[in-house]
Amino acid sequence: MIDSQDITGLVLAGGRGARMGGVDKGLQSFRGLPLALNALLRLQPQVGATMVNANRNLAAYEAFGTPVWPDGLADYAGPLAGFLVGLEHCDTPWLLTVPCDSPLFPADLAERLARAAEREDADIAMACAPESDAAGVTTVRPQPVFCLLRSSLLESLVRFTQAGGRKIDAWTAQHRCALEPFDRAGDDPRAFHNANTLAELHAIEGA
């Protein structure tokens, strides 16, 4: 069994926040706390160590009391840039990534992804969650920024990004990936809702 102490948790807060008007999304308030701090506090009981990926206002993030690492790739290269810097600084066999803008992610995320990785002898375990389309049809879809990765994947990701790769799905498809659905009775249907705009953030906050 993968022990929680063998997992380092990484909060991804390095984006441009373009759909929030360019604000630093991780520092926006959610129930009285910065979004990224909310994510960090939700993650810490699930893992052995934590860190944050951020590209602006580094002193504000460092005040959370955990290591903060900016992207090594230029021009806000997306979540894979966060994956890369996380793997570069990961001292445990596994890295768990979560975005800062899904404040209700499951309290048993690490446990269930670890179980899926072990069950399928996978290098990556990815959360899946129900999503409804415009017609109201619900499908369980992968949530690729909620990923448990073997830290030994660093070399593979370095090669992929150096070749210009930026899409998570294109990289994870190169490896054995276990998908773990979060659609059981009792699972919060809002757990993976993310706030791309301030209106979406306020809607999640008030739900």
Look at residue 50 and give its three-state secondary structure.
strand
Q: What are phi and psi of 55, to 5 degrees?
A: -120, -5
Percentage of the chain exceeding pLDDT 70: 98
Binding site listing for GTP: 12-14, 25, 53, 71, 101
Q: What is the pTM of this model?
A: 0.94
Tokens of 127: 């959360």
Per-residue pLDDT of 65-109, as tens digits, reads 999 999 988 777 789 999 999 999 999 999 999 999 999 999 999
Q: Domain span at residue 24?
A: 4-206
Angstrom distances, CA of residue 94 to CA of 7, 28, 185, 203, 206: 5, 29, 28, 33, 34
* Mean pLDDT on 47-68: 97
Q: What is the band of 20 on the pLDDT scale with cuts at 50, 70, 90? A: confident
Between the CA of residue 124 and those of 25, 168, 176, what are the distances in Å? 27, 12, 6
- Cα-to-chain-centroid distance, residue 19: 18
* Residue-level pLDDT at 103: 96
Q: List binding-site positions.
A: 12-14, 25, 53, 71, 101
Tell me, what's the pLDDT at 18?
Answer: 66
pLDDT number for residue 112: 98
CATH number of the domain bearing residue 148: 3.90.550.10
pLDDT at 173 over 80: yes
Residue list, annotated binding site for Mg(2+) = 101
What average pLDDT does this structure show over 31-37? 96
pLDDT of 135 > 90? The answer is no
Query: How many domains, in total, are found in the chain?
Result: 1
The predicted structure's pLDDT at residue 145: 97
DSSP-based three-state secondary structure for 192: coil
What would the mean pLDDT of 61-65 be, rounded to a whole number?
97
